[in-house]
């Protein structure tokens, strides 16, 4: 079912399944026996920036101890590219593997989900499966997803995001594929694995959670089973993100964010997203910047854009963020929620607009180092008129856009994109 179908009058709304999950300190140590129980014999481990760390080594050794052979593909890039997926598919096929493990954040999980769909279709290019339930074979190899960040939710959702590098280099394309067949077999979330996540990544991933939670809560899909999870994820993020960022060894903060990211993904899994994510996808398509960072910068602008369509829901968000809204109107409470989101962004040290994002803005930044000529030519985010126009056009074609609370046209979305590029956040506060 397409998102557009869900928006028609009197729709039948679709609830998408979740995988089984193991959650809590030490959960990753169970991967060996769990993989054996599922039937793994020779598995491809997909990971990214974790290569050479004890996490990958320990998980691989645990699987070997339980009689499972492992092959490692450790070249998944941030904002995973189609060639990452297809290289992994080739390695999987050449080594006659029968299963997958992804270790990392959304990039590792998304690339792995795409690889599984490709393998199930005899190695067809992953770009053929852009859209909604485009796979034709519902059975693909089993997959255990082990998260090392609190942000993505990819380990429990039916979505994966890939950058298509085969398009016009002057107009790169990043897309979301939603596919029930891509849902993992087992999700493992262990807050102990988050301890070494850098402060800036922790903050950016936390705003991915806040976007995942707030967008389905105000979405025009208005899917009742998603609303409770969405609000609780907002509450958990507001309570735990600062501690997780500024004291990475704080188990309570890390565990709180672990649950926040997991249930936020369960909220958007059927409740939909909006143009926070559409803007993020567009910016990373052109500039290869971090998804969570993009969400953080776009979020206050999109909240301000959507508030007139959903003041009451944003008033609920204010209360979930711990604000005392007694005596406030819904409009005043909604504005207080926006101010709280901006305060949180500033408290965890995230750049406030896209033109502030530079090569030294955050660890492992890839700005200007991507795989196409466009990246090489655009090592900085200009934020000028042509830049705003191309980002806006990408947003309008994104699969997340139809669920946005407020109607999206070029004329309505362009000012949101422009303010995200160059605007001052204080302008939003009135």
> What pLDDT was estimated at residue 221?
93
User: In CATH, which of 3.30.530.20, 1.10.3720.10, 1.20.1090.10, 1.10.1040.10 is domain 199-245+255-429?
Assistant: 1.20.1090.10
Mean pLDDT, range 272-301, rounded to an integer:
95
For 372-399, what is the mean pLDDT?
82
Q: Quick one: pLDDT at residue 370?
A: 57
What pLDDT is stored for residue 12 in this prediction? 84
- For residue 407, pLDDT over 60 is answered with yes
Mean pLDDT of the chain: 93
Location of structure tokens 């089973």: 225
In tens, the pLDDT along 228-253 reads 999 999 999 999 999 999 999 999 99
Average pLDDT, stretch 142-167?
95
pLDDT confidence of residue 192: 96
Q: Count Cβ atoms below 10 Å from residue 87 Cβ, excluding itself.
A: 16
Taking residues 307-328, what's their average pLDDT?
A: 98
How much is the pLDDT for 2?
64
Check pLDDT > 70 for residue 226. yes
373 vs 351, more confident: 351
Q: Report the percentage of the chain scoring pLDDT > 90.
A: 84
Confidence check: pLDDT of 118 > 80: yes
- Domain pair 3-194 / 199-245+255-429, same fold: no
**pLDDT for 31:** 97
pLDDT class of 56 with cuts at 50, 70, 90:
very high
173-178 and 159-164: which strand pairing?
antiparallel
CB atoms within 10 A of CB 102: 31
Q: Which CATH class is domain 3-194?
A: alpha beta
- What does the alpha-carbon distance between residue 183 and residue 185 come to, in Å, rounded to a whole number? 7
Region 63-78: mean pLDDT is 95
CA 156 → CA 109, 142, 259, 263, 312, distances in Å? 10, 14, 12, 9, 29
Do residues 25 and 423 make contact, with C-beta atoms less than 8 angstroms apart? Answer: no
Mean pLDDT computed over 291-301? 97
Q: Where are the domains of the chain?
A: 3-194, 199-245+255-429
Spatial separation of the C-alpha atoms in residues 296 and 210, rounded to whole Å: 8
Higher pLDDT, 119 or 6: 119
Q: Tokens representing 219?
A: 């979405």
pLDDT at position 380 is 78
Instruction: Identify the pLDDT of residue 414.
Output: 98
**Band (175; pLDDT cuts 50, 70, 90):** very high
* pTM exceeds cut of 0.85: yes
10 against 335, higher pLDDT: 335
């Amino acid at each position: 079912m397409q998102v557009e179908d869900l928006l028609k009058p009197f729709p039948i709304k679709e609830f998408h399944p979740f995988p089984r999950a193991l959650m809590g300190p030490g959960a990753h140590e169970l991967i060996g026996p769990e993989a054996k129980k599922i039937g793994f014999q020779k598995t491809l481990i997909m990971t990214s920036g974790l290569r050479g760390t004890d996490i990958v080594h320990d998980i691989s050794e645990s699987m070997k101890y339980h009689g499972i052979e492992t092959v490692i593909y450790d070249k998944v890039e941030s904002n995973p590219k189609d060639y990452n997926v297809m290289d992994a598919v080739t390695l999987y096929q050449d080594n006659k593997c029968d299963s997958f493990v992804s270790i990392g954040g959304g990039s590792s999980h998304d690339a792995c989900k795409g690889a599984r769909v490709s393998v199930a279709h005899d190695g067809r290019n992953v770009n053929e499966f852009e859209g909604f339930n485009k796979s034709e074979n519902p059975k693909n190899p089993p997959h255990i997803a082990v998260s090392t960040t609190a942000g993505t939710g990819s380990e429990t959702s039916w979505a994966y995001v890939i950058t298509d590098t085969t398009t016009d280099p002057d107009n790169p394309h990043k897309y979301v594929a939603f596919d029930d067949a891509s849902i993992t077999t087992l999700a493992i979330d262990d807050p102990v694995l988050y301890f070494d996540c850098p402060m800036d990544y922790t903050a950016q991933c936390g705003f991915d959670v806040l976007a995942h939670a707030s967008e389905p809560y105000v979405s025009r899909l208005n899917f009742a089973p998603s609303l409770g999870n969405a609000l609780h994820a907002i509450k958990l993020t507001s309570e735990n993100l600062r501690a997780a960022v500024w004291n990475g060894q704080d188990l309570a903060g890390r565990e709180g964010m672990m649950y926040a990211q997991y249930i936020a993904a369960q909220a958007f899994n059927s409740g939909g997203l909006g143009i926070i994510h559409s803007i993020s996808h567009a910016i990373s398509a052109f500039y290869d910047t971090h998804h969570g960072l993009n969400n953080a910068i776009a979020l206050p602008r999109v909240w301000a854009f959507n508030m007139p369509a959903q003041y009451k829901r944003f008033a609920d968000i204010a209360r979930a963020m711990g604000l005392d809204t007694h005596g406030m109107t819904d409009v005043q409470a909604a504005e207080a929620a926006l101010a709280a989101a901006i305060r949180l962004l500033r408290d965890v040290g995230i750049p406030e607009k896209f033109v502030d994002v530079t090569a030294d803005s955050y660890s492992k930044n890839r700005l200007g180092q991507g795989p196409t000529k466009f990246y090489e030519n655009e090592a900085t985010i200009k934020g000028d008129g042509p830049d705003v126009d191309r980002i806006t056009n990408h947003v309008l074609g994104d699969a997340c856009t139809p669920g946005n609370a407020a109607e999206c046209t070029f004329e309505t979305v362009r000012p949101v994109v422009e303010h995200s590029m160059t605007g001052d956040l204080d302008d939003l506060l009135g």
